[in-house]
């Protein structure tokens, strides 16, 4: 069925349940699983994943065991679960409060308030944009369409293969994760560095099937951009800087790591900042046009609107937005209370609230538009985080009018990170919600039912995110934060985005930011944006933002992700070649076979992510109960060389099996 025509019509709606208690309960359960998985992967690798498609598959399988469900009820479950999963983007900035010592953990009420208020603002902002950016536009919404196709395929075929693939992949990745992180009998990666004439070159890769899955999901275009960032960072910038400033007191690997962490990452931040500003600036006209169209023609709950066009009324949305300003101001005021600002605390709370709502709406609209144009994975969430961090770190001293030394600098840094956390959450939720609403449009869902599910998803996610963050921090700790008693510093989680934004905020407030690196990155960003625009006119994808991300994520993470992207590209080429060699036509039937294999690859990749991440969370709980890291390890440090060899062998075997599974035709095209 054509993506523009709904699967369910108003006449058939009466025969299908949509927003049900069992669907809400199932959505909440799936939310907890994918929230834990995304938090673990995000803090460990800097990458999160969309839970829409795996949530839809789990929903269809679970409902089948309960006697079956319609496509609309399954759509509500994936809508709720994906909204909650998107809240995990709060880790791009919030852990920075722990890194600077302002927080010594994740206080439940403040963490929950950041996620809940930011998430609800994101839902509210996406409602008036739906008619203009979804039903009233021809934006493609790739992830939204893909999720709808999975729902339609599962609904029409009534097969359980997808759920078996997902759970099987999760089991395999979980066992490997247990052997790696828990038992320590498999190595986590292979890295090496060499110094040539004072210039240090470093390379390596991880052995994580979950990261291979991430690469498969984002595709070859994004992975090539990521590899470009790796080449610029580790093949050009790090060798030049280590040659110019040798450090004989450190090993080659440690010297390269120090230069990358202190200087090269900021070049990546400059690229991302330019890419984010270009994106927002280029979308200003369509964003304002969409807002005018939405406000002049928003639907409501009345019977005079078709069922598939009934939103929550715009008056309710406006009232809710204004109502959210009160707890936002309280949150900012409570956070500022220890700084003893006197009457300035009220001024700061009001100014921070206005900035959050106004800037947050602009960023949410930009992310939502770009999600429809290129997909959620191409939205400039990291760029928005960096821009917000820079803006708030520069503006807050103007509002406060004074500095109180080190403690005052730490407060300004903390407030900047708090504001950034709320705005990132708002933008991320709006970004994801419009994809969900597009999925709903394709399958014939009722918008206001989905919007209620989005609100419920945000509520569930906000409640569970604080204890999950606390669990991971207490068990593993963060790189750059003081280690707890019994923690292994080598197991600390990098939290790369939060570390970068903390570095930027600290550098601005303490006037120590090496602006030369940021400006070099900004110059590279201008060149990359120009190249991206030129390639886009030729229907080629090369996102400048991803190049910047490739410069600040850890090397082993990036290389493993790139392997996944290349594997997906090779698999599709092998599949098309196999179809051609079998005498089939490379037309619609071949596309159908490739699409089916691609869906299987997506489910397997999602299973890898869920399995490895959930085992990581369970191991965190085990370590916390035991009071020390590696509580169930059976191999010591002397076994490390053998563990690396075994890990490499298992990793290569996993790649071979995965490649075979996703390059086998699920549908064999035959000549008509």
Tens digit of pLDDT for each residue in 141-158?
767 777 777 787 666 655
Structure tokens at 481: 């934060």
**Three-state DSSP string of 581-599:** HCCCCCCHHHHHHHHHHHH
Helix (H, G, I), strand (E, B) or coil at 478: strand
Helix (H, G, I), strand (E, B) or coil at 458: helix
Q: How far is CA 626 from CA 227, 309, 421, 623, in A?
A: 40, 54, 32, 5
What's the average model confidence in pLDDT over 352-368?
Answer: 85
pLDDT digits (tens, 9 = 90+) for 156-166: 655 456 668 87
What's the average model confidence in pLDDT over 80-90?
Answer: 81
Long-range contacts (CB closer than 8 Å, 24 or more residues apart) made by 255-261: 255/200, 256/193, 256/200, 256/201, 256/202, 257/202, 259/200, 260/233, 260/234, 260/555
Most confident range (mean pLDDT) of 124-133, 137-146, 458-467 is 458-467
Could you tell me which residues come within 8 angstroms of residue 127 by beta carbon, excluding any fewer than 6 positions away? 298, 311, 312, 314, 317, 451
Contact 349, 333 (CB under 8 A): yes
Angstrom distance (rounded) from CA 366 to CA 614 = 33
Contact 37, 405 (CB under 8 A): no
pLDDT digits (tens, 9 = 90+) for 586-612: 566 677 777 788 888 888 887 887 788
Angstrom distance (rounded) from CA 259 to CA 559 = 19
Q: What is the pLDDT of residue 649?
A: 96
Cα–Cα nearest to 563, from 229, 171, 51, 204: 204
Most confident range (mean pLDDT) of 107-111, 130-134, 335-339 is 107-111
Angstrom distance (rounded) from CA 629 to CA 107 = 23
Q: What is the pLDDT of residue 583?
A: 53
Sort 562 into a burial class: Cβ within 10 Å, 0-12 / 13-18 / 19+: buried
From 65-69, 368-372, 496-500, the region with the lowest mean pLDDT: 368-372
What's the average model confidence in pLDDT over 472-485?
Answer: 81
Say if residue 249's pLDDT is above 90. no
Q: What is the pLDDT of residue 669?
A: 41
Matching residue, tokens 């290569």: 652
What single-letter DSSP state applies at residue 160? -
Structure tokens at 308: 């598939």
What's the average model confidence in pLDDT over 379-391?
Answer: 79
Q: Where are the alpha helices (DSSP H) in 401-446?
A: 405-443
Contact 556, 189 (CB under 8 A): yes
Q: Who wins on pLDDT, 306 or 227? A: 227
Strand positions, DSSP E, 153-291: 189-196, 199-206
Average pLDDT of the chain? 81
Q: What is the pLDDT of residue 375?
A: 59
Q: What is the pLDDT of residue 376?
A: 61
Say if residue 140's pLDDT is above 70. no
**Bridge partners for 201 per DSSP:** 194
Contact 27, 450 (CB under 8 A): no
Q: What is the pLDDT of residue 117?
A: 95
Angstrom distance (rounded) from CA 25 to CA 30 = 9
At residue 489's C-alpha, the angle toward residues 487 and 491, to 5°, is 85
The alpha carbon torsion through 48, 50, 54, 59 (nearest 10 deg) reads 120
What's the average model confidence in pLDDT over 553-559?
Answer: 84
Q: Where are the domains of the chain?
A: 10-168+280-491
What's the average model confidence in pLDDT over 509-538?
Answer: 86
From 96-100, 169-173, 421-425, 447-451, the region with the lowest mean pLDDT: 447-451
Contact 367, 386 (CB under 8 A): no
What's the average model confidence in pLDDT over 212-240?
Answer: 88
pLDDT tier, 223 (very low <50, low <70, confident <90, very high otherwise) = confident
Helix (H, G, I), strand (E, B) or coil at 161: helix
Residues 581-606, buried b or exposed e (16+ Cβ, 10 A)? eeebeeeebbeebbeebbbbbbbbbb
Could you tell me which residues come within 8 angstroms of residue 306 by beta carbon, excluding any fewer than 6 positions away? 10
Angstrom distance (rounded) from CA 219 to CA 202 = 25
Most confident range (mean pLDDT) of 39-53, 360-374, 522-536, 624-638 is 522-536
What single-letter DSSP state applies at residue 192? E
Q: What is the pLDDT of residue 2?
A: 47
Could you tell me which residues come within 8 angstroms of residue 489 by beta carbon, excluding any fewer than 6 positions away? 477, 483
pLDDT tier, 3 (very low <50, low <70, confident <90, very high otherwise) = very low
Contact 367, 381 (CB under 8 A): yes
Helix (H, G, I), strand (E, B) or coil at 245: coil
Sort 330 into a burial class: Cβ within 10 Å, 0-12 / 13-18 / 19+: middle
**Phi, psi at 206, each rounded to 5°:** -90, 175
Say if residue 542's pLDDT is above 80. no
From 115-124, 399-408, 633-642, the region with the lowest mean pLDDT: 399-408
Q: Who wins on pLDDT, 382 or 332? A: 332
Angstrom distance (rounded) from CA 146 to CA 55 = 13
DSSP string, 71-115: HHHHHHHHHHHHHHHHGGGGGGTTTHHHHTTS-SS--HHHHHHHH
Please indicate, yes or no, whether the overall pTM of this predicted structure exceeds 0.75: yes
At residue 404's C-alpha, the angle toward residues 398 and 406, to 5°, is 110
Say if residue 304's pLDDT is above 70. no
Strand positions, DSSP E, 177-260: 189-196, 199-206
**Three-state DSSP string of 480-533:** CCCCCCCCCHHHCECCHHHHHHHHHHHHHHCCCCCHHHHHHHHHHHHHHHHHHH
Structure tokens at 576: 């098309």
What's the average model confidence in pLDDT over 540-565?
Answer: 83
Computed over its alpha carbons, how large is the radius of gyration of the chain?
24
Angstrom distance (rounded) from CA 42 to CA 579 = 38
Angstrom distance (rounded) from CA 303 to CA 15 = 18
Angstrom distance (rounded) from CA 429 to CA 465 = 15
In terms of residues, how long is the chain?
672
Matching residue, tokens 């590899």: 227
The alpha carbon torsion through 59, 63, 69, 74 (nearest 10 deg) reads -10
Q: What is the pLDDT of residue 668?
A: 43
Matching residue, tokens 């190049």: 547
Q: Who wins on pLDDT, 606 or 93? A: 93
pLDDT digits (tens, 9 = 90+) for 606-660: 788 778 877 887 887 787 677 666 778 888 888 988 999 999 999 999 999 999 9
Q: What is the pLDDT of residue 523?
A: 93
């Amino acid at each position: 069925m054509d993506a523009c025509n709904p699967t369910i019509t108003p006449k058939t709606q009466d025969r299908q349940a949509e927003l049900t208690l069992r669907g809400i309960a199932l959505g909440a359960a799936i939310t907890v699983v994918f929230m834990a998985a995304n938090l673990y992967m995000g803090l460990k690798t800097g990458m999160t994943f969309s839970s829409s498609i795996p949530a839809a598959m789990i929903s269809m399988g679970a409902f089948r065991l309960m006697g079956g469900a319609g496509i609309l009820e399954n759509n509500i479950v994936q809508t709720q679960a994906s909204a909650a999963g998107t809240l995990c983007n709060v880790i791009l900035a919030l852990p920075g409060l722990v890194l600077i010592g302002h927080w010594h953990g994740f206080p439940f009420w403040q963490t929950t308030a950041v996620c809940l208020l930011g998430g609800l603002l994101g839902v509210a902002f996406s409602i008036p944009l739906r008619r203009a950016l979804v039903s009233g536009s021809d934006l493609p919404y790739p992830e939204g369409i893909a999720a709808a196709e999975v729902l339609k395929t599962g609904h029409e075929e009534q097969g359980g293969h997808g759920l078996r693939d997902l759970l099987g992949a999760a089991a395999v990745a979980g066992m490997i994760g247990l052997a790696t992180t828990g038992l320590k009998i498999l190595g986590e990666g292979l890295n090496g560095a060499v110094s040539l004439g004072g210039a240090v070159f470093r390379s390596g890769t991880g052995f994580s099937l979950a990261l291979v899955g991430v690469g498969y999901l984002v595709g070859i275009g994004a992975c090539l951009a990521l590899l470009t960032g790796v080449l610029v960072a580790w093949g050009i910038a790090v060798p030049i800087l280590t040659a110019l400033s040798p450090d004989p007191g450190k090993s080659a690997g440690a010297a390269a790591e120090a230069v990358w962490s202190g200087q090269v990452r900021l070049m990546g931040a400059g690229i991302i900042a330019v890419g984010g500003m270009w994106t927002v600036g280029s979308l200003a006209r369509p964003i304002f046009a969409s807002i005018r169209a939405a406000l002049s023609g928003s639907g409501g709950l009345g019977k005079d609107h078709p069922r598939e066009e009934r939103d929550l009324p715009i008056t309710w949305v406006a009232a809710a937005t204004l109502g959210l300003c009160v707890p936002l101001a309280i949150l900012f005021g409570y956070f500022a209370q220890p700084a003893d600002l006197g009457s300035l605390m009220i001024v700061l709370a009001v100014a921070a609230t206005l900035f959050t709502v106004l800037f947050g709406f602009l960023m949410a609209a930009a992310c939502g538009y770009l999600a429809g144009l290129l997909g959620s994975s191409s939205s400039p969430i990291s760029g928005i985080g960096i821009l917000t961090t820079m803006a708030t770190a520069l503006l807050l001293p103007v509002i406060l009018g004074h500095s109180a030394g080190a403690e005052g600098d730490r407060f300004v840094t903390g407030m900047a990170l708090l504001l950034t956390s709320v705005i990132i959450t708002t933008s991320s939720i709006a970004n994801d919600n419009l994809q969900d609403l597009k999925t709903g449009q394709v399958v014939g869902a009722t918008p206001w039912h989905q919007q209620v599910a989005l609100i419920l998803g945000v509520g569930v996610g906000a409640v569970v995110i604080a204890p999950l963050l606390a669990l991971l921090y207490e068990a593993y700790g963060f790189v750059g934060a003081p280690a707890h008693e019994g923690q292994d510093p080598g197991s600390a989680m990098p939290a790369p985005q939060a570390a970068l934004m903390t570095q930027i905020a600290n550098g601005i407030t303490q006037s120590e930011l090496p602006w030369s690196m940021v400006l070099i990155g900004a110059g590279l960003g201008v060149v990359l944006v120009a190249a991206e625009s030129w390639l886009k006119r030729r229907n080629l994808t090369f996102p400048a933002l991803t190049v910047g991300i490739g410069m600040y994520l850890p090397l082993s993470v990036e290389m493993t992700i790139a392997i996944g992207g290349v594997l997906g590209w090779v698999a599709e080429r092998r599949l098309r070649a196999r179809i051609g060699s079998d005498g089939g036509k490379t037309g619609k039937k071949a596309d159908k076979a490739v699409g089916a294999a691609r869906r299987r690859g997506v489910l397997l990749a999602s299973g890898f992510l869920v399995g490895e991440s959930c085992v990581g969370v369970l191991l965190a709980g085990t370590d916390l109960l035991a009071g020390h890291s590696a509580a169930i390890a059976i191999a010591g440090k002397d076994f490390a060389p053998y563990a690396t060899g075994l890990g490499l062998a298992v990793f290569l075997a996993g790649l071979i099996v995965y490649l075979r599974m996703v390059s086998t035709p699920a549908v064999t095209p035959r000549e008509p």
